[in-house]
Amino acid sequence: MDVLLRRGEFGSLIPMPVVPGLEVSGYVKAIGEGVKGFYIGQPVAAMTLMEMGGYASVAQVKPELTVPLDQLGGELDMASAAAAIVNLTTAYMTIRNVARMRAGENVLVHAAAGGLGSFLGQMAKVSGAGKVFGTVGSIEKTKLATSLSYDELLIRSDFIEPINKMIGPRNVDIVLDPVGGDMRILSQELLRPMGQIVMLGNASGTEDVPQSSNDIWFSNKSMKGFNIGAYSQSAPAEVGKSAKEALTLMAKGQIRAEIFGVFPLEKASEAHELLEEKNTVGKLLLKVGG
C-alpha cells in the first residue's frame, strides 16, 4: 500500500503531499478531550489507515482504532503489534465477517507469504479451515508453508493443476486475493458451485479486469470486496473490536508475525526498494528513535 501510494497510483483519491504509514505501535503521549479508557504511557497499537501518518515520531490516532496492548491477556511486543494490527485484523474480518468461512472449507490465498497473506493462512487454520493453499512468486518462498500454516505453497504461474490433483477439480470454497489482475479470472476455475472470491487488494498494480456478471450468475459463484480502510470510516468501533480480538489471538500465541526486517525511519526508501523487488516475506518495520 505504501509503495502504491508513493508512486501516486491513487491519483486524486489521495492528494499529495502525504505522510504514509497505515499502522503504528508505541506509547500514549497525550489524550484528547473526552477520550476514556487510556492513560499516558500506555503501550498501544493503532490503525491510522485513511488518515495515514505512521512514518513519524508522533501519530494522531482514533481511540476506536487503538488497542491497549496491556489488556490482551497475554504478551505482545511492540514489533509484532505494529506488524499485525492492520493485516491480522484484515485477515480476521475477512475470514469471519466477509467470507464467513465454515469449518472444513478449502481455502486458497494469493501472495501467501506477503504482509497480508502471512496472516491469512494462519487465520484460516485457527478458524477451522480444511486444506489451505497459497500461491507465491518464487521457489524459495514455498519453503515457508509449514511456518505460515499452509498445507501447500505453489508458484503463482502454475497453481491450478496441482490443487486440482490434491483435492479434486473445482473443490475450493474460498479464494482470498490481494493480488488482482488475472488471478481473479484464473481462480474461478478452482471454485466449487457456491464458492466465493474475496478481493482484498491490487498488489500487482495491473489494470482492473472486467468480469461478466452473467458468468457469475450462471456458475453459482460470488465475488466480494473488503477494504478495511474504507470500512473503518463507516464502522470504526466494529473494526476496533475485531482488532482487539485478533491481537488477543497473537498475544496468546495462536498466531505469529513474520517480520522480514526492521529499518530506521530514515531508511524507509530502502524498505520500499525491497518491497518493489518482491523478495520479502511477511512485514517490514520502520523503527522510530530508540
| pLDDT at 11 (0 to 100) | 79
**Phi, psi (degrees; rounded to nearest 5) at 192:** -75, 165
Residue 7, pLDDT > 90, answer no
Q: pLDDT per residue over 160-186, tens digit each? A: 999 999 999 999 999 999 988 888 888
Split at pLDDT 50, 70, 90, the class of 23 is very high
Give 227 or 278, the one with higher predicted confidence.
Answer: 227
CA distance 9 to 91: 24
* Residue 147 pLDDT exceeds 80: yes
Q: What is the CA radius of gyration of the chain?
A: 19
Which pLDDT tens digit goes with each residue over 71-91? 998 899 999 999 999 999 999
What pLDDT score does 209 carry?
Answer: 79
Mean confidence (pLDDT) of the chain = 93
Average pLDDT over residues 241-259: 96
CB of 4 closer than 8 Å to CB of 21: no
Question: Coil, strand or helix: which one is 67?
Answer: strand
pLDDT band at 290 (very low <50, low <70, confident <90, very high): low
- pLDDT for 34: 94
List, in order of start, the domains of the chain with CATH numbers.
2-85+230-287 (3.90.180.10), 99-227 (3.40.50.720)
Residue 250 has pLDDT above 80, yes or no: yes
Q: Which residues on adjacent β-strands are paired with residue 45?
A: 25, 67
C-alpha grid cell for residue 132?
489451505
| Burial zone of 288 (CB within 10 Å; 0-12 exposed, 13-18 middle, 19+ buried) | middle
Distance CA 280, CA 113 (A): 8
Whether 22 and 2 have beta carbons less than 8 Å apart is answered as yes
Give the largest CA-CA distance in the chain. 60
Contacts of 10 (CB under 8 A, 6+ apart): 4
Asked, as a colleague might, if the bond just before 178 is cis with ω within 30 of 0, I would say no
What percent of the chain has a predicted confidence (pLDDT) above 90?
76
Q: What is the DSSP letter of 98?
A: I
What phi-psi label fits residue 181: left (phi over 0), alpha (psi between -120 and 50 degrees) or beta?
left
Tell me the pLDDT tens digit for each residue of 203-212: 777 777 788 8
